[in-house]
Amino acid sequence: MTQETQNVLLSVEDLRTWYELRKWGFFHAGYVKAVDGVTFDLRHGQAITIVGESGSGKTTLAKTLLGLVPPTGGRMDLAGHRYDSERVKWLRFLFKQSERAAWRNKRERRTWIRAKVGFVQQDPYGALAPFMNVRKILAEPLTIHRVPKHDQEERIRAVMEEVRLTPSEDFINKYAHMLSGGQQQRLVIARSIVLEPELLIADEPVSMLDASVRVEILQLLRRIQESHDLGVIYITHDLSTVRYFSEYVFVMYAAKLVEKAEVSELIHNPRHPYTQALLTAISDPDPDNARVFKDVPKGEPPSLAHPPSGCRFHPRCKRFMADLCDVQMPVSFEPVAGHQVECWLYR
């Protein structure tokens, strides 16, 4: 095993998450292919951003990585341990486990995942129980994972200091509705790191916040990531926030990762026509923009229940090549070292 392989925290290979469609509740009517053939590696201490418009499959990918939605196929390895559903099915077949033993195995697997993976939700108010104060919100995961009582208070105070909910005495007995939006999101971040996970998944953590506190929250996440050597997956539809946070950007369109590159490389030299369109659509605080026409792709993203054949962006692409883009699914090309793009323009 090479040193680079040992440094990989999360390895995802050909991951597929399809939701089954049923007619009249009984008859199979197809699938919604929300995640379809996603492959990437995340190293310890690395932050990546997955960016794409609404409906591209970003949140389903996050739920699959969190173990909340079972994958249809593919492989997921976290810290050297495989944890996708196919592994559990294979174990049941191999050892002839009883239903009760299989259920216990699944429950233990989920408990292990939730200790290793922290989750920062998009809506902080909806993510916090209104009947629990700050102390109970932060103590709950510690209690579930059987952290001794005498260690809980110390850990709670430490994470509150880390997310700048200070002095802790002023916040520890407050309820969620008594906090501002930024303070609520700090509390969500504190809960996500209270078990000292190795991986943090943040699903649009600043989209519900005022513009004045967005960069502040992203910088807080960045400090936490660096101090704990966390692997972080930051999911967003806003490319303008990417430069504040991550080293790599993965662009997702219609359930597929169509481009992967370092932040500076992707922003200054986008290759895929969809990535170029995303960057064109970013609003800059320049009054001259009122007189400039921005050429964005026509149409809407395709239905994931009936995706187009070939490249999924070809119905909206101005550089579409007949009998190629509409027939064959593009493979991954590497026009520049470390810059991968799934587009036939670079064959």
pLDDT tens, per residue, the chain with 347 residues = 454 566 899 999 999 999 999 888 888 889 999 999 999 999 999 999 999 988 899 999 999 999 889 899 999 999 888 876 544 444 444 444 454 555 456 667 677 788 899 999 999 999 999 999 999 999 999 999 999 998 999 999 999 999 999 999 999 999 999 999 999 999 999 999 999 999 999 999 998 888 888 889 999 999 999 999 999 999 998 887 887 778 999 999 999 999 999 999 999 999 999 999 888 877 666 666 666 666 778 888 899 999 999 999 999 998 999 999 999 999 999 999 999 999 999 98
Tokens of 225: 């990531």
The pLDDT value recorded for residue 111 is 78
The pLDDT value recorded for residue 145 is 92
Angstrom distance (rounded) from CA 277 to CA 149? 53
The pLDDT value recorded for residue 296 is 76
The pLDDT value recorded for residue 237 is 85
Helix (H), strand (E) at residue 94 = helix 85-95
Domain ranges (residues) in the chain = 3-270
Task: Tell me whether strands 333-336 and 81-82 are parallel, antiparallel or unpaired.
Answer: unpaired
- Which single residue is written with the structure tokens 């969809």? 274
DSSP H helical segments within 96-196, as ranges?
99-116, 124-127, 134-144, 149-162, 168-171, 181-193
- Predicted TM-score of the model (pTM): 0.89
Angstrom distance (rounded) from CA 190 to CA 174? 15
Angstrom distance (rounded) from CA 326 to CA 314? 6
* Residues 56 and 255: beta-carbon distance below 8 Å: yes
The pLDDT value recorded for residue 215 is 85
Which of left, alpha, beta for 30 (phi over 0: left; psi -120 to 50: alpha)? left
The pLDDT value recorded for residue 67 is 86
CB atoms within 10 A of CB 284: 8
Residues 6+ apart with CB under 8 A from 182: 209, 210, 213, 216, 217
CATH 1.10.3660.10 fits 3-270, yes or no: no
* Residues 43 and 238: beta-carbon distance below 8 Å: no
The pLDDT value recorded for residue 92 is 44
Q: What angle do CA 103, 195, 89 make, to 5 degrees?
A: 25
